[in-house]
Amino acid sequence: MLRINKDVEHALISLVEMSREKRIYSARELSDHFQIPFEILSKTLQRLAGRELIASIQGPRGGYILKRSISDITLYEVVNAIHDSVSVVPCIGGSMMCKQEENCNIKEGIEKVQSEFDRYFHSLTLESFVKIDEHGKNNQVRIHDDLKGTIGENN
């Protein structure tokens, strides 16, 4: 079963929260509000900043701010920022040698699955994770019902 892991979930929660109001959010504020361990969330935010999904603001009143609208950020970009690749099996991403590579009888099928997976994750923006209330404000993170399985390495 394919599912989004905690690191990606933390990234999604943080990005959607930052979309609610255009201002600087501290890692501590987000960590406390969502009860995510500070050290873990700090690393996640640094990865998102490294991929330029958010900007890192230095100084005593520093923190992070969203660089683009959530309607312009795809799930593929978020997963890729956290895990450096978005692959259904390790051998497709090129990061691992497979003992069965020479005699693999499912490679073509797996490559088709990967292609569809990539297409789908590129088509989902973070906006699809947000419930908009009657005042036009987003209320909550809503994990897409048809997203199932492990994405990334940590659960």
CA distances from 116 to 109, 119, 133 (A): 11, 5, 32
How far apart (Å, rounded) are the C-alpha atoms in residues 64 and 42? 10
pLDDT of residue 149 exceeding 90: no
CATH label of the domain that carries residue 66: 1.10.10.10
Give the helix/strand (H/E) hosting 97: none
Domain span at 36: 6-86+125-141
Q: Is residue 119 part of a domain?
A: no
pLDDT of residue 96 exceeding 70: no
Cβ atoms of 10 and 44 within 8 Å: the answer is yes
pTM of the model: 0.78
pLDDT of residue 27 exceeding 80: yes
Q: Is residue 77 part of a domain?
A: yes
**Range in 70-84, 104-118, 134-148 the model is least confident about:** 134-148
How many C-beta atoms lie closer than 10 Å to residue 10's C-beta? Answer: 22
Q: Is residue 59 part of a domain?
A: yes
Instruction: Give how many domains the chain has, as a whole number.
Output: 1
* Single-letter code of the amino acid located at 62: G
Which single residue is written with the structure tokens 């701010």? 65
